[in-house]
């Protein structure tokens, strides 16, 4: 148990400190780093889905004026470590998926680099590829564990027996689509290799964590961590796709090493991002629910089939939220993977929870319908006293309160059992729960220094729009007991103390903890009247890392949809979310994050869909004209509210993390509202007209 | 092939040599060091490169520099003198109409263009009365701002920011 900081600056809706640079466009993102005389890179990608490069004709390219280097698998430097196959760039002529990097051209201008890269002729020995995800594949396998270290399968009691004997059952299969993170800032880097310098390799890289980025790069190149500097003051969105470096970072570093002393720049094109920057695997989820007439679950089971690439395994933990959301004596969760000749899936906002709160939350709606029960009430009667997965007590759990307050704010009681039609439109309401685990990373360090009358906190944290530039000063101010205006924070550089990745909604929890410990150390050492240059450092508070409680943020989302009676056109005029996510550090930036997550959830429900063509092994709609994300006109009223939750078991701020919970459950709420409006139950995302029209009343 | 052109960017005149394949966006970002307009897609699909080109909002990733010799360009950084903010920028700050900030200069320029178009009475797809004044309603703003993608999804705050700036004129 932790005494929480007395909130003075914490809780204030301060305007973003980096706001002025961002509205003017003067915040410098990675590619924009001002450097003298940069050279420009353009990658060469494989145009087969499996096989081997037998030859690349680069002679003509290399002879062109202005071409500085052409790297291929046949001439590139040998990397020190190829343990991570994603980073083994240009180390072998083998092609594991279409779009894999097989070369890079470095030239005096970006136009020339692109022309030359596109003109290189490549000969292949092509092999048949296998890139279709199906549940009847004989080669589905159980990974050793799933993402974030969770066990692959869990089982308690006897689900099958409960399904046979229960009064009411639901047994359906749900599908979530392949999704691409698509931050608007492409994956981009400016790199400089200066042999002989103390820090020979500098990367201005768009990353969710300068220190994890440095660790990966230094290992691949066999450098000491101190020989690599990563700088990233601003990140133009990541949503998980910049949590780990991808192959492009290794490629630009190789290009820099081929041109010592010359800064080189590489930005993936939007199209290249669909091959190289990670994505969310499609998931196929079989849900089984058994209940008594009063709605109490007797069994809940989820069996997940999803894909990974053959070259590197990523196992999305889709079944994990089913393990802890609701009480039931009989429970099962399994994950099976198909290893395919496809690009490498990775983190995308709320891996696990985002797809994993679709199937179960729609299945619950189907169960409520079978029972003739209010779906809010069905969730309330299945509220578990302790975490069903671990048996631990909750650090705090206010799902029921979120459901009740959300219902009241939304006007859920207006929802009749029957269909409602207003003019040409069917109107429906739907609900789903949200959840995200409260994570704290083990390592992060901060410095606090007194400098010319102000306090300076330094930590290699990342602000990807999440507000770190603004909220860390608030935490530091309260930990020091000073006005927030007297605190400056410096982030986004490996010259500052080690910070964990901005992932798992753990950034503020982890870095804020380190900052507050450093502030406490500072006060202990120097009192309230410090001298210029006094400095103290602090690590994440291990004592506050309570292991005896299950810590999660919860929420409830309510959706109103309108479906056109003739065309099936679907609109979402209202989304209301109520969250219990600990103490909110900055209501202004927090609301934006929660609403942003909900909007991305709506986008998943209605618009986003990476259409993978297994015949050629690539996403067919690999740009922003055809991969649709919600635009301004798709959004009407989206509200995020939160409860005043006080959790003494998470960290000294009492914060639980808010970056990801907003996207969980949204798509289910929309799908459930569509069913209420029309009677059409869509079990595969996204909800498109072709799935609606045949069933419209 | 290279060509020499003149551009006036944020009030400053430049004479520069460009490859005839160079887009206006790359001319600004890679030749003139003005990185206020952003590259998000390079195909006119995301709106991050929006600037005011000869007074009207324009996607400069789709414009070849050589075809715009003599053009007058205002980026988000040129909307107000250093240390001051344009009313649209101020409203974006106050409404928290952005998160990561990468689409923001394009959103801001687009919003300035929208307010001008509304002033001129130009109708949009959602305008009911094609001949009267255009009201700066939610639907009008949302429709007109839909060429600017925001992956952080600040749309709910962008619309009131544009309305606020429109009201403040």
Task: Give the domain range for residue A65.
Answer: 33-128+182-276
A638 vs chain B: nearest CA distance in angstroms? 7
Residue A152 lies in a domain: no
pLDDT in tens, B80-113: 999 999 999 999 999 999 999 999 999 999 999 9
Number of Cβ atoms within 10 Å of the Cβ of A59: 9
Put simply, the answer to whether B45 touches A593 (Cβ < 8 Å) is no
**Which backbone phi and psi does A341 adopt, to 5 degrees?**
-85, 75
d(CA B32, CA B80): 19
Last residue of a domain, one of A500, A519, A542: A542
* Residues A108, A218 within the same domain: yes
Catalytic annotation present for A115 = no
The kind and range of the H/E element at A559 are strand A550-564
A150 vs chain B: nearest CA distance in angstroms? 28
Q: What is the pLDDT of residue A416?
A: 85
Number of Cβ atoms within 10 Å of the Cβ of A600: 28
Q: What is the pLDDT of residue A487?
A: 98
In 3-state terms, what secondary structure has residue A604? helix
Residue A417 lies in a domain: yes
Contact B145, B136 (CB under 8 A): no
- Four-residue CA torsion sign, A104, A106, A110, A113: negative
Closest Cα to residue A51, out of A134, A105, A119, A130?
A130
Confidence of residue A485 (pLDDT cuts 50, 70, 90): very high
* Residues A575, A489 within the same domain: no
pLDDT in tens, A279-303: 999 999 999 999 999 999 999 999 9
Q: What is the largest CA-CA distance in chain A?
A: 78
A309 vs chain B: nearest CA distance in angstroms? 26
B110 vs chain A: nearest CA distance in angstroms? 12
Among A18, A21, A184, beta carbon nearest to B151: A184
The pTM (predicted TM-score) of the whole model is 0.98
Contact B47, B148 (CB under 8 A): yes
Put simply, the answer to whether A632 touches B155 (Cβ < 8 Å) is yes
Confidence of residue A497 (pLDDT cuts 50, 70, 90): very high
* Residues A483, A604 within the same domain: no
Among A20, A23, A184, beta carbon nearest to B40: A184
Average pLDDT over residues A317-326: 98
Number of Cβ atoms within 10 Å of the Cβ of A224: 9
pLDDT in tens, A201-260: 999 999 999 999 999 999 999 999 999 999 999 999 999 999 999 999 999 999 999 999
Q: What is the pLDDT of residue B126?
A: 97
Any bridge partners for residue A595, and if so which? none
Contact B155, A632 (CB under 8 A): yes
Pairing status of strand B50-53 against strand B71-74: antiparallel
Q: For residue A263, what are its two tokens?
A: 């800064």
Contact B25, B37 (CB under 8 A): yes
Among A465, A591, A634, beta carbon nearest to B101: A465
- Four-residue CA torsion sign, B44, B50, B53, B57: positive
Q: What is the pLDDT of residue A1?
A: 76
Among B46, B104, B145, beta carbon nearest to A632: B145
* Residues A41, A113 within the same domain: yes
Residue A206 lies in a domain: yes
- Ranges of beta strands (E only) in A569-663 are 570-580, 612-613, 618-619, 637-642
Eight-state DSSP code of residue A215: H
Put simply, the answer to whether B159 touches A632 (Cβ < 8 Å) is yes
Helices (H), A25-148: 59-63, 110-119
d(CA A97, CA A148): 25
Any bridge partners for residue A414, and if so which? none
Q: Which of A405, A458, A645, A660 is catalytic?
A: A660
Q: Which residue of B has its CA nearest to A35?
A: B33
Residue A156 lies in a domain: no
In chain A, what residues touch B93 (CB-CB under 8 Å)?
15-16, 19-20, 23
CATH number for the domain that contains residue A662: 3.30.365.10
Residue A362 lies in a domain: no
Q: Which of B98, B100, B108 to mutate to test the interface with A (most CBs of A within 10 A)?
A: B100
Number of Cβ atoms within 10 Å of the Cβ of A528: 8
Give ∠ CA A640-B148-B106 in degrees, rounded to 5.
110
* Residues A495, A579 within the same domain: no
Last residue of a domain, one of A251, A276, A301: A276
In chain B, what residues touch A631 (CB-CB under 8 Å)?
146-147, 149, 155
Chain centre to alpha carbon of residue A513? 22
In chain B, what residues touch A42 (CB-CB under 8 Å)?
none
Residue A613 lies in a domain: yes
Distances, alpha carbon A274 to alpha carbons A54, A617, A622, A630, B63, in Å: 25, 12, 6, 18, 25
Residue-averaged pLDDT of chain A: 97
In chain B, what residues touch A592 (CB-CB under 8 Å)?
96, 99, 152, 154, 157
In chain A, what residues touch B100 (CB-CB under 8 Å)?
183-185, 234-237, 464-465
Cβ burial, residue A641 (10 Å; 0-12/13-18/19+): middle
Contact A281, A54 (CB under 8 A): no
Eight-state DSSP code of residue A59: H
Residue A373 lies in a domain: no
Q: What is the pLDDT of residue A580?
A: 98
Put simply, the answer to whether A625 touches B43 (Cβ < 8 Å) is yes
Put simply, the answer to whether B102 touches A183 (Cβ < 8 Å) is yes
* Residues A558, A676 within the same domain: yes
Q: What is the pLDDT of residue A419?
A: 83
Put simply, the answer to whether A26 touches B148 (Cβ < 8 Å) is no
Put simply, the answer to whether B96 touches A24 (Cβ < 8 Å) is no
Q: Count how many domains chain A has.
A: 3
In 3-state terms, what secondary structure has residue A632? helix
Average pLDDT over residues A13-30: 98
Q: What is the pLDDT of residue A3?
A: 86
Q: What is the 3-state secondary structure (H, E, C) of A251-318?
A: HHHHHHHHCCCCCEEEECCHHHHHHHCCCECCEEEEEEEEECCCCCEEEEEEEEEEEEECCCCCCCCC
The kind and range of the H/E element at B88 are helix B87-94
Chain centre to alpha carbon of residue A356? 14
Contact A618, A682 (CB under 8 A): no
Put simply, the answer to whether A234 touches B101 (Cβ < 8 Å) is yes
Q: Which residue of A has its CA nearest to B146?
A: A632
Distances, alpha carbon B126 to alpha carbons A637, B140, B142, B143, in Å: 17, 6, 10, 7
Element counts in chain A: helices (H) and strands (E): 17, 29
Kindly provide the b/e burial profile for residues A425-450, where b requires at least 16 CB atoms within 10 angstroms of the residue's own CB: bbbbbbbbbbbbbbbbbeebbbbbbb
Q: In the block, which residue shows the tokens 């690999």?
A: A622
* Residues A601, A695 within the same domain: yes
Q: What is the pLDDT of residue A544?
A: 66
The percent of residues in chain A predicted with pLDDT above 70, rounded, is 100
Among B37, B94, B159, beta carbon nearest to A25: B37
The percent of residues in chain A predicted with pLDDT above 90, rounded, is 97
Distances, alpha carbon A123 to alpha carbons A46, A559, A576, in Å: 10, 53, 55
Contact A627, A621 (CB under 8 A): yes
In chain A, what residues touch B42 (CB-CB under 8 Å)?
269-270
Q: What is the pLDDT of residue B168?
A: 61
Among B148, B151, B155, beta carbon nearest to A182: B151
Among A267, A592, A632, beta carbon nearest to B96: A592
Q: What is the pLDDT of residue A2?
A: 80
d(CA B108, CA B51): 9
Q: Which residue of B has its CA nearest to A587?
A: B96
Q: In the block, which residue shows the tokens 């919970």?
A: A661
B66 vs chain A: nearest CA distance in angstroms? 14
Q: What is the pLDDT of residue A546?
A: 83
Put simply, the answer to whether A23 touches B93 (Cβ < 8 Å) is yes
Q: Which of A117, A180, A632 to mutate to test the interface with B (most CBs of B within 10 A)?
A: A632
Range B114-123 contact pairs with CB under 8 angstroms and sequence separation of 24 or more: B114/B57, B114/B141, B114/B144, B114/B145, B114/B162, B115/B88, B115/B162, B115/B165, B115/B166, B115/B169, B116/B55, B116/B56, B117/B144, B118/B144, B118/B166
* Residues A508, A412 within the same domain: no
In 3-state terms, what secondary structure has residue A157? coil
Touching A: B residues 137-166, CB under 8 Å: 138-139, 141-143, 145-159
Q: What is the pLDDT of residue A505?
A: 96
B102 vs chain A: nearest CA distance in angstroms? 5
How many residue pairs bridge chain A and chain B with CB atoms within 8 Å of each other? 190
Q: Which of A16, A19, A23, A242 to mutate to test the interface with B (most CBs of B within 10 A)?
A: A23
* Residues A214, A90 within the same domain: yes
Average pLDDT over residues B1-23: 97
- Contacts of residue A347, defined as CB under 8 A and 6 or more positions apart, other chains included, come to A147, A240, A241, A243, A244, A278, A503
Put simply, the answer to whether A632 touches B41 (Cβ < 8 Å) is no
Among A26, A603, A633, beta carbon nearest to B36: A26
Contact A168, A363 (CB under 8 A): no
Q: In the predicted model, is pLDDT for residue A155 greater than 90?
A: yes
A600 vs chain B: nearest CA distance in angstroms? 7
* Residues A529, A556 within the same domain: no
Residue A359 lies in a domain: no
Domains parsed from chain B with CATH numbers: 2-78 (3.10.20.30), 87-168 (1.10.150.120)
In 3-state terms, what secondary structure has residue A97? coil
Last residue of a domain, one of A522, A542, A562: A542
pLDDT in tens, A405-430: 999 999 999 998 878 999 999 999 99
Touching A: B residues 8-67, CB under 8 Å: 19, 21-22, 26, 29-30, 33, 35-43, 45-46, 48
* Residues A218, A100 within the same domain: yes
Among A236, A270, A595, beta carbon nearest to B153: A595
Q: What is the pLDDT of residue A537?
A: 97
* Residues A254, A205 within the same domain: yes
Q: Which of B102, B146, B164 to mutate to test the interface with A (most CBs of A within 10 A)?
A: B102
């Amino acid at each position: 148990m932790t005494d929480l900081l007395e909130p003075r600056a914490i809780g204030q809706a301060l305007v973003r400190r980096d706001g002025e640079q961002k509205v003017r466009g003067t915040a410098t993102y990675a590619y924009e780093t001002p450097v003298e005389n940069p050279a420009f890179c353009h990658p060469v990608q494989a145009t087969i889905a499996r096989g081997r490069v037998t030859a690349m004709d680069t002679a003509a390219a290399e002879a062109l004026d202005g071409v500085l280097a052409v790297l291929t698998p046949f001439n590139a430097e040998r990397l020190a470590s190829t343990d991570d196959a994603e980073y083994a760039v240009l180390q072998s002529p083998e092609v594991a998926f279409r779009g894999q990097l097989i070369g890079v051209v470095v030239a005096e201008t970006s136009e020339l680099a692109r022309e030359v890269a596109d003109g290189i002729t490549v000969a292949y020995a092509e092999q048949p590829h296998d890139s279709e995800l199906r549940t009847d594949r004989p080669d589905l396998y159980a990974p050793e564990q799933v993402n974030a270290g969770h066990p692959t399968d869990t089982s308690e009691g006897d689900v099958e027996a409960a399904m046979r004997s229960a009064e009411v059952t639901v047994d359906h299969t749900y599908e979530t689509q392949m999704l691409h993170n698509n931050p608007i800032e492409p994956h981009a880097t400016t790199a400089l290799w200066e042999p002989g310098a103390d820090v020979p390799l500098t990367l201005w890289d768009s990353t969710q964590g300068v220190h994890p980025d440095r660790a990966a790069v230094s290992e691949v190149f066999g450098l000491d961590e101190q020989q690599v500097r990563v700088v990233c003051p601003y990140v133009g969105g990541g949503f998980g796709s910049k949590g780990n470096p991808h192959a492009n970072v290794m490629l630009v570093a190789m290009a820099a090493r081929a041109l010592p002393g010359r800064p080189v720049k590489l930005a993936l094109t939007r199209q290249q991002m669909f091959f190289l920057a990670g994505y969310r695997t499609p998931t196929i989820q079989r849900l089984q629910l058994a209940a008594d007439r009063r709605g109490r679950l007797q069994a809940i089971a989820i069996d997940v089939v999803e894909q990974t690439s053959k070259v590197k395994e990523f196992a999305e933990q889709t079944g994990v939220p089913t393990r802890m959301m609701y009480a039931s004596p009989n429970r099962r969760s399994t994950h099976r993977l198909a290893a395919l000749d496809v690009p490498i899936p990775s983190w995308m906002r709320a891996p696990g929870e985002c797809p994993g709160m679709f199937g179960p939350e729609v299945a619950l709606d189907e169960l409520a319908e079978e029972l003739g029960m209010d779906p809010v009430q069905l969730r309330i009667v299945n509220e578990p006293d302790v975490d069903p997965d671990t048996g631990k007590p909750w650090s705090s759990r206010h799902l029921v309160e979120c459901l009740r307050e959300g219902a009241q704010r939304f006007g859920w009681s207006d929802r009749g059992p029957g269909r409602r039609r207003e003019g040409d439109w069917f109107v429906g309401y739907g609900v789903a729960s949200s959840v995200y685990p409260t994570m704290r990373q083990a390592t992060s360090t901060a410095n606090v220094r007194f400098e010319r009358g102000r306090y300076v906190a330094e930590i290699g944290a990342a602000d990807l729009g999440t507000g770190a530039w603004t909220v860390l000063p608030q935490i530091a101010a309260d930990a020091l007991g000073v006005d927030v205006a007297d605190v400056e924070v410096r982030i986004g550089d490996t010259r500052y103390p080690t910070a964990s990745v901005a992932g798992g909604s753990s950034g503020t929890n982890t870095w804020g903890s380190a900052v507050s410990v450093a502030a406490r150390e500072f006060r202990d050492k120097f009192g309230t009247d410090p001298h210029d240059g006094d400095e103290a450092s602090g690590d994440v508070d291990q004592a506050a890392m309570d292991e005896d409680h299950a810590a999660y943020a919860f929420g409830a989302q309510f959706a109103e949809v309108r479906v056109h009676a003739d065309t099936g056109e679907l609109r979402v005029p209202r989304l209301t979310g109520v969250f219990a996510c600990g103490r909110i550090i900055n209501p202004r930036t927090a609301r934006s994050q929660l609403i942003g997550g909900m909007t991305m959830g709506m986008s998943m429900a209605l618009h986003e869909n990476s259409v993978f063509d297994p015949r050629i092994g690539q996403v067919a709609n690999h740009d922003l004209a055809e991969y649709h994300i919600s635009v301004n006109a798709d959004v009407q009223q989206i509200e995020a509210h939160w409860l005043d939750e006080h959790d003494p078991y998470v960290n000294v701020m009492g914060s639980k993390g808010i970056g990801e919970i907003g996207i969980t459950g949204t798509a289910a709420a929309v799908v459930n509202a569509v069913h209420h409006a029309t009677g059409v139950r869509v079990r595969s995302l996204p909800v498109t007209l072709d799935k609606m029209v045949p069933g419209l009343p | 092939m290279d060509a020499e052109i003149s551009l006036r960017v944020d009030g400053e005149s430049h004479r520069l040599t460009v490859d005839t394949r160079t887009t206006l966006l790359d001319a600004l970002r890679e030749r003139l060091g003005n990185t206020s307009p952003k590259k998000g897609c390079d195909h006119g699909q995301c709106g991050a490169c929006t600037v005011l080109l000869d007074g009207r909002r324009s996607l400069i990733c789709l414009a070849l520099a050589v075809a715009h010799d003599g053009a007058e360009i205002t980026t988000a950084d040129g909307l107000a003198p250093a240390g001051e903010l344009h009313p649209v920028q101020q409203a974006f700050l106050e409404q928290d109409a952005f998160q990561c900030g990468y689409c923001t200069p394009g959103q801001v320029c687009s919003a300035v263009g929208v307010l001008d178009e509304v002033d001129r009475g130009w109708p949009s797809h959602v305008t009911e009365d094609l001949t009267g004044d255009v009201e700066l309603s939610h639907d009008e703003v949302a429709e007109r701002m839909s060429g600017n993608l925001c992956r952080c999804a600040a749309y709910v705050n962008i619309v009131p920011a544009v309305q606020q700036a429109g009201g403040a004129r």
